[in-house]
Structures are given as structure tokens and as C-alpha cells.
């Protein structure tokens, strides 16, 4: 019986380099310093089936990852295993092949080579696959375009989090630009060969860093009109942060209060509301105490009067209905009835000898209004 040390290693399979398998790479007698290595074609564990019957060998194989990870273990070889790995003269041998001894230089290179092989075998991730995990909004006309400096701060912080080298920032920024910003990038790329981030950062700020008063107006003049107070507060804070992300907390609290209606402003004590969190809590409390608004009545959608809301317009005129008209009013206020009565009297007047006259409905002109009004009053009195 002999005490030995075996070394297992997670290596690429000889038949499929993309597959990682466990191999036996070396054997060493504990009473000697020499280490003997197995040739690549004799390293497969399927060839060492008797060795793998040992519990310690099974434990050494378990969860051996990632690739190029090594694990050594000691064991005692019985007579059968000793004959499998050593001959009568104690020479290391396996399947009739004498194992080669590693010198000190080979041992040092053996420890350093796996790390180099692992680095070379690991696939290089593209920049696009790296930055896909970055939480950076797109920069463009229709997206984030109000504060270029604040956007660059977000972009740089995400690049540092993802361990992207600064000399690749100029490449990564292209993946977050659109519309006019993307055109700026393409123009700068064609007109300059500089790849330093300071140059690209300065050029970006020169093109998009100047803010217009539109962002300030949107932030400062935005006021609550209707709906949820909490939604108003979050939208107001977003506008303020877009305009100036470094705005003092007290200024943001004041702007939130000034955007509320006067009767709600009077219920806020700024002396006690010293933090933004307290201000938001106060606004949420005001939101919960407001009376519920009707779904059809708010500041943006006032209620429309119901059709036929007046008593007069709720009843069809009986006189007009008999004549085939659909008009809604009291019969005593019916102008059609008054007009017909007038024409009836005129036609019955013996002094009316006009041959062109016929009993038809004529239009009422402005000069007849006064006399018509008098006739309406007369009919109403007699009704």
C-alpha cells in the first residue's frame, strides 16, 4: 500500500472544446517530491474507473468549476490500485505508458498557465452586451434633452458600475443617443480621430449643454389643477430635477408648495416641513383628506348640462306636434301658434283684397317683432 496525491482539473473536453470536463492531470507519492503528469489522452476519468470508486475521488470531482479549477486529494492505494499506477520498481506508469516527471519550471508554468488559458478562452463580450444592463435614458429631442450635464453624470456613473474603461466611453455613449444627438455623434466621428473621453464630453456639452428657458418655465410654472396631489408632486419634482438636478432641497420644497392651490398652501407649515420626505408625506395627507371628485366633474372636464334640463324643454309642444313639428316648449309660448292665428285673422279680414295673398306661413321680419310681442301677450292672457 502506498500514499499518493492526485490532482484533478476542470479542462476542455478533447472531443468538444466548448465542454468542460474533469481530468486526472498528475500523481505524486507523498514520500517523494517528484510530480508525474498524465498525457492528455490518458486523463479522462473513464479510464480511471477503479480510482473513482474511492469516496475521496468522488468528492474531489463533485462541483469542480469553473474551467481550469484544480483540486488535489490524498489517498491510500491498495495492492490493485498500486499495480495500476506503479510497476514493480515503483516507476509511475499507466496503461503501459511511463509518466513524465515535471521539473520546477514546469510546475511554475503549470500554476500560471490555467489562469492565462482561462482568460484567453473566455469569450470577449461586446460593448453592446455590457451596456445593455446600464440604467441610462436615451438622449434626444423627444426623450431626455433638458440637462446634458446631468445626463452625462448618469452615463459615467453607470459605466463605472459596469467596469467599462474610460477609453471606451466615447464608443459606449453612441448606444444611448438618438435623433439630433446621434447625428452629432456621427458628424464628430467623421470629422475627428480623437478618442479621448474629455474631448467627446466637452463637445457634447458644447452642443447640448445650453438650456433654454422652456425647461425653467416647465419646472417653475407647473401647478396643480386637478387629479391626485401625489401625482402632481412627483411630476413637479421630475421637472425640477430635469432642469437642475443639484437644486437645493429647500428650493424644491418651496416650489412644491407654490404649485398648490392657495387653500392647500395655507395648510402647510414650512417651518415643520424641513425635508422633502416630510413635504411629500404632508401632500399625501392632503390628498387623502380631499373630498372625492366625480368622475365626470373635475377642473379639466367640467360636467355638461343634461339635455332638456329646463322644465320648458322637457315637454313637446302639442300644437307643433299636431302640425308635424317636433318642438319642445309650452303651448302658451308657441310662436307658431301665434303666427298662424295672426295669418288666420288677416285672411278673414274683408278689407284684405290682395289677390296674391294666400294663407301660407310667412317669415317673421324685424319690423313685425313689436306687434308680434303684443299678440303673444294677448294670447297668454286669454289662455
Q: What residues does each domain of the chain span?
A: 2-121, 128-208, 213-289, 312-382
Tell me how far apart the alpha carbons of residues 32 and 120 are, in angstroms, rounded to a whole number. 34
Question: CA angle 248-249-251, nearest 5°?
Answer: 70
Which of helix, strand or coil describes residue 318? helix
Residues 232, 255: Cα–Cα separation, whole Å: 12
- Within 235-303, strands assigned E span none
Average pLDDT over residues 136-150: 75
The Cα 275–Cα 370 span in angstroms is 72
**pLDDT tens, position by position, 198-217:** 999 999 988 887 666 777 78
Percent of the chain surpassing pLDDT 70: 76
Distance CA 218, CA 117 (A): 57
pTM above 0.85, yes or no: no
Q: Is pLDDT at 301 greater than 50 in this prediction?
A: no
Residue 193 predicted with pLDDT over 70: yes
What values do phi and psi take at 37, rounded to 5?
A: -105, 145
| Cβ 317 vs Cβ 334: under 8 Å | yes
Pairing of strands 70-77, 20-29: unpaired
Print the SS3 string covering 163-221.
Answer: CCCHHHHHHHHHHHECCHHHHHHHHHHHHCCCCCHHHHHHHHHHHHCCCCHHHHHHHHC
Amino acid at each position: 500500500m502506498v500514499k499518493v496525491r492526485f490532482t484533478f482539473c476542470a479542462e476542455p473536453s478533447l472531443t468538444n472544446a466548448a465542454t468542460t470536463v474533469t481530468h486526472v492531470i498528475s500523481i505524486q507519492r507523498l514520500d517523494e517530491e517528484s510530480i508525474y503528469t498524465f498525457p492528455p489522452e490518458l486523463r479522462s476519468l473513464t479510464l480511471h474507473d477503479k480510482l473513482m470508486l474511492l469516496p475521496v475521488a468522488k468528492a474531489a470531482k463533485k462541483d469542480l468549476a469553473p474551467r481550469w479549477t484544480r483540486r488535489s486529494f490524498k489517498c491510500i492505494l491498495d495492492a490493485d490500485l498500486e499495480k495500476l499506477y506503479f510497476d514493480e520498481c515503483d516507476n509511475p506508469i499507466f496503461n503501459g505508458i511511463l509518466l513524465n516527471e515535471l521539473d520546477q519550471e514546469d510546475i511554475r508554468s503549470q500554476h500560471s498557465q490555467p489562469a492565462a488559458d482561462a482568460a484567453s478562452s473566455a469569450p470577449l463580450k461586446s460593448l453592446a452586451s455590457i451596456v445593455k444592463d446600464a440604467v441610462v435614458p436615451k438622449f434626444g429631442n423627444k426623450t431626455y434633452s433638458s440637462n446634458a450635464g446631468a445626463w452625462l453624470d448618469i452615463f459615467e456613473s453607470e459605466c463605472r458600475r459596469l467596469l467599462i474603461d474610460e477609453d471606451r466611453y466615447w464608443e459606449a455613449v453612441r448606444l444611448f443617443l438618438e435623433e439630433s444627438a446621434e447625428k452629432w455623434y456621427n458628424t464628430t466621428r467623421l470629422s475627428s480621430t480623437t478618442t479621448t473621453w474629455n474631448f467627446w464630453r466637452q463637445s457634447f456639452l458644447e452642443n447640448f449643454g445650453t438650456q433654454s428657458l422652456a425647461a425653467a418655465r416647465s419646472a417653475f410654472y407647473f401647478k396643480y389643477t386637478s387629479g391626485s396631489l401625489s401625482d402632481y408632486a412627483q411630476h413637479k419634482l421630475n421637472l425640477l430635477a430635469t432642469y437642475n438636478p443639484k437644486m437645493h432641497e429647500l428650493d424644491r420644497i418651496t416650489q412644491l408648495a407654490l404649485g398648490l392651490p392657495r387653500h392647500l398652501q395655507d395648510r402647510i407649515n414650512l417651518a415643520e416641513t424641513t425635508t422633502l420626505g416630510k413635504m411629500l408625506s404632508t401632500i399625501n395627507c392632503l390628498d387623502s383628506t380631499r373630498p372625492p371628485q366625480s368622475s365626470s366633474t373635475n377642473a379639466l372636464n367640467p360636467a355638461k348640462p343634461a339635455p332638456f334640463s329646463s322644465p320648458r324643454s322637457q315637454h313637446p309642444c302639442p300644437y307643433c306636434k299636431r302640425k308635424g313639428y317636433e318642438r319642445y316648449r309650452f303651448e302658451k309660448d308657441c310662436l307658431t301658434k301665434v303666427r298662424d292665428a295672426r295669418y288666420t285673422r288677416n285672411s278673414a279680414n274683408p278689407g284684405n283684397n290682395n289677390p296674391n295673398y294666400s294663407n301660407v306661413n310667412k317669415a317673421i321680419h324685424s319690423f313685425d317683432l313689436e306687434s308680434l310681442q303684443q299678440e303673444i301677450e294677448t294670447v297668454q292672457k286669454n289662455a
